[in-house]
Amino acid sequence: MAEDAQVVITTEGLTRSFGDNVAVDRLTISIRAGEVFGFLGHNGAGKTTTVRMLNGVIAPTGGSARIFGLDPQTDGARIRARTGVLTETPALDNRLTARATLEYFSDVYGVPRALRRQRVAELLERFELTKRANDKVGGFSKGMRQRLAIARTLVNDPDIIFLDEPTSGLDPVATREVHRLIERLSHRGRTVFLCTHNLAEAERLCDRVAVMARGQVLATGTTRELAAELNRGHRITVEIDTGATERALALFAALPQVSSAEIVGDRAAARNGGTLLLLHGVARPDVPPVIAAAATAGLNVYRVEPVDSSLEDVYFALQGQ
Amino acid sequence: MNWRAIWAIASKDVSVALRTRAVVLPLLIVPLVLMVGIPSLVGLISGMANQMAAAESQMADLTRAMPPEFASRYAGLNDVQAGLVYFLVYLFAPMYLVLPLMASAVVAADSFAGEKERKTLEALVYTPTTDRELLLAKVLGALIPGAMVGLGGFVVYTIVANLVALNVVGMLILPNTLWLLLAFFVGPAAAAFGLGVTVIASSRVNSFQEAYQIGSLVVLPIVLLVVGQAMGAFLLSNWLVLLLGIVLWAADAVVFFIASASFRRTALMARI
């Protein structure tokens, strides 16, 4: 991602309250064209309300937003012409066929008539719905409905795609297909705003993420940046003999280079009669003296590995859990 | 105005509403009962009474309040025949308004509250239509079937009433100015009124049934018209029907002003 890429979404103190409940609290973010931006948070964190405000379908009670440089409150229709939104519960009209659904939204979005037939056929093909194109949506499985809803989101070939839990209810094959789609969209320069609980999905797909809780952004950055922020000191795992576990814990806890030590389950170590210990707060230069101290104390060290924080570690640490 | 989007939404609403049993049943049953069943039954009874020359004194009471032009146009009819013509042409006239009013209300309930209930409205508000375009599309989608049912009902009623009249009276009685005014001026106003009230109701409720029930309450003034006329409080003349149409169109303007204020996507989405 080029640093000077065009910024397509900016918010400054964006806030929305419903009575006493502050759904989104002073949200300030900036998203560049072509970026896959993860918006992470529990239910009720404010993700859906944010998507609605950015598309001008609900009004903020404070702050401001700009999409393509336009104000969603006054230029909502122009913004929505260039966005596609997959809602969290993407309801479809059960009385329409898959083809009629896409043709209907093509007309509403103003897809040129000459392109409509081709675009609809392409979307049906891409989402493996061609064989059921003339069947009513009421008879579709949950996965098929979700695929059709995503196809509907892309009917106007949008520049920004808001996806609210896009893989919810999908089987692993369909989930992988959606992940590939998001990657393809990103490669084509489309911006993806991905609201998800699925941290592995976000870690795999997102260039940057914002972690939300109770309407507030707790942190924004790449997964690596957030992990680095979380692990100011590094973590390492050390495999020692199981019989020496208590002695090793006491030794490592007493070392000034180690902030704490704990046992972590590891099948490979257990099969070899060993135990894996996780040492916190060990910066890279401190690794050799820590291992030397263990050797001096007569501990057999079989394996030493650095531990990177996953997005899941970061997420739960930020959420205070 | 994005007319392509407006027409797409309106035509889709009409098309799917006509595939929905809860919408189609009232659109079929009510016109059949009102426009075919009741006039046929009245014709049958009048035919029997005419043959037996019975109940003339009651018929005489009924026809006493007829307008002067009635006596000249239908001179020579006996009391039973005059009573039948009075019923089919005048007494039943307000009931006709139930048709466009009910039809537009039921389609509007499906189009607005039904779409909220099915959660399909959310996808629509994310489209590049403006609030005004969305409202206009939804209004057209309900008004067109309402007006069509009204006009269709008028044609059917004209045929049935004439068949009945031919059998009992030996002459054609419709259409006349009063019914043409009803069908082409007051009927569309009634359709718009039922629609407007249902749009307002739909913004406050979340199900098709609730919206339809509230929208159906607008039938009550029509019942008052029927009862008032039957009790001799007034008689629908051409001028009175014209006035009724003007009042209804004025009421429509007020109702649609309120409806357009209540139909803002920001307000709708805050409730979803």
* pLDDT tens string A247-264: 999 999 899 988 888 888
The CB density around residue A20, as the number of other CB atoms within 10 Å, is 5
Banded pLDDT at A45 (limits 50, 70, 90): confident
The better pLDDT of the pair A212, B206 is held by: A212
Q: How far from the centroid of its chain's Cα atoms is residue A170's Cα?
A: 16
Cβ neighbours of residue B136 under 8 Å, at least 6 residues apart? B1, B6
Q: Per residue in A107-137, pLDDT tens?
A: 999 999 889 999 999 999 988 899 999 999 9
Does the pLDDT of residue B172 top 60, yes or no? yes
- β partners of residue A4: none
pLDDT at A2: 44
Of A112, A116, A108, A35, give the one whose Cα is nearest residue A77.
A108
Q: Please compute the mean of the pLDDT values over residues A145-149 and round it to a whole number.
A: 91
The structure tokens listed for A124 are: 């049906």
Verify whether the Cβ–Cβ distance B128 to A107 is below 8 Å.
Answer: no
pLDDT at B62: 55
Q: Per residue in B17-61, pLDDT tens?
A: 888 888 888 888 888 898 888 888 888 888 777 766 555 555 555
Banded pLDDT at A195 (limits 50, 70, 90): very high
Helix (H) or strand (E) holding B235: none
> Are B98 and B222 spatial neighbours (Cβ–Cβ below 8 Å)?
yes
Q: Please compute the mean of the pLDDT values over residues A154-160 and round it to a whole number.
A: 94
Q: Which of B8, B265, B269 sits opposite A104 (nearest CB)?
A: B8
Q: Please compute the mean of the pLDDT values over residues B163-169 and round it to a whole number.
A: 88
**Best mutation target, A55, A88, A108, A161, to test chain B (most B CBs within 10 A):** A108
Lowest-pLDDT range, A134-143, B68-77, B166-175, B176-185? B68-77
Does the pLDDT of residue B11 top 60, yes or no? yes
Q: Which of A55, A59, A110 sits opposite B2 (nearest CB)?
A: A110
Q: Please compute the mean of the pLDDT values over residues B179-185 and round it to a whole number.
A: 93
The structure tokens listed for A282 are: 């060990």
pLDDT at A320: 65
The CB density around residue A38, as the number of other CB atoms within 10 Å, is 26
The structure tokens listed for B127 are: 């489209």
The CA–CA distances, whole Å, from A206 to A35, A163, A297 equal 8, 12, 45
Nearest CA in chain B to A74: B130
The CB density around residue A121, as the number of other CB atoms within 10 Å, is 14
Does the pLDDT of residue B246 top 50, yes or no? yes
Q: Please compute the mean of the pLDDT values over residues A9-23 and round it to a whole number.
A: 91
Banded pLDDT at A176 (limits 50, 70, 90): confident
Cβ neighbours of residue B61 under 8 Å, at least 6 residues apart? none
Task: Report the 3 state secondary structure along B41-88.
Answer: HHHHHHHHHHHHCCCHHHHHHHHCCCCHHHHHHCCCCCHHHHHHHHHH
Helix (H) or strand (E) holding A201: helix A199-205
Banded pLDDT at A68 (limits 50, 70, 90): very high
Helix (H) or strand (E) holding A280: strand A274-280
State the residue for tokens 């027409």.
B7
pLDDT at A211: 87
pLDDT at B158: 94
Q: Whole-number mean pLDDT of chain B?
A: 84
Banded pLDDT at B169 (limits 50, 70, 90): confident
Task: List, edge to edge, every strand of the sheet that includes A191-196.
Answer: A83-86, A160-164, A191-196, A36-40, A208-213, A216-221
pLDDT at A149: 93
Q: Please compute the mean of the pLDDT values over residues A172-200 and round it to a whole number.
A: 87
Q: How far from the centroid of its chain's Cα atoms is residue A313's Cα?
A: 14
Helix (H) or strand (E) holding A310: none
Of A137, A157, A129, A139, give the one whose Cα is nearest residue A96.
A137
pLDDT at B216: 77
Q: Please compute the mean of the pLDDT values over residues A169-185 and round it to a whole number.
A: 85
The structure tokens listed for B1 are: 């105005």
B163: distance to nearest CA of chain A, Å?
A: 40
Of A189, A187, A198, A194, give the one whose Cα is nearest residue A208.
A194
The contact set of A with B (CB < 8 A) is 18, 52, 55, 57-59, 76-78, 80-81, 83, 85, 87, 89-96, 104-105, 107-110, 152
pLDDT at B67: 66
B153: distance to nearest CA of chain A, Å?
A: 27
How would you class A272 by CB atoms within 10 Å of its CB: exposed for 0-12, middle for 13-18, buried for 19 or more? Answer: middle
pLDDT at A3: 45
pLDDT at A230: 60
> Are A321 and A288 spatial neighbours (Cβ–Cβ below 8 Å)?
no
Q: Per residue in A85-98, pLDDT tens?
A: 998 887 898 889 99
Most confident among A67-71, A267-271, A315-319, B139-143 (mean pLDDT): A67-71
Of B153, B150, B129, give the one whose Cα is nearest residue B10.
B129
Banded pLDDT at A1 (limits 50, 70, 90): very low
A129: distance to nearest CA of chain B, Å?
A: 20
Of B141, B236, B227, B229, give the one whose Cα is nearest residue B191.
B141
The better pLDDT of the pair B220, A315 is held by: B220
Q: Which of A55, A87, A91 sits opposite B118 (nearest CB)?
A: A91
Does the pLDDT of residue B75 top 90, yes or no? no
What does the CA dihedral A154, A82, A42, B115 come to, rounded to 10 degrees?
-70
> Are A269 and A201 spatial neighbours (Cβ–Cβ below 8 Å)?
no
Which residues of chain B lie closer than 8 angstroms to A18, CB-CB? 270
pLDDT at B155: 94
Which residues of chain B lie closer than 8 angstroms to A87, CB-CB? 122-123, 126
Does the pLDDT of residue A158 top 80, yes or no? yes
pLDDT at A200: 81
The structure tokens listed for A9 are: 């979404």
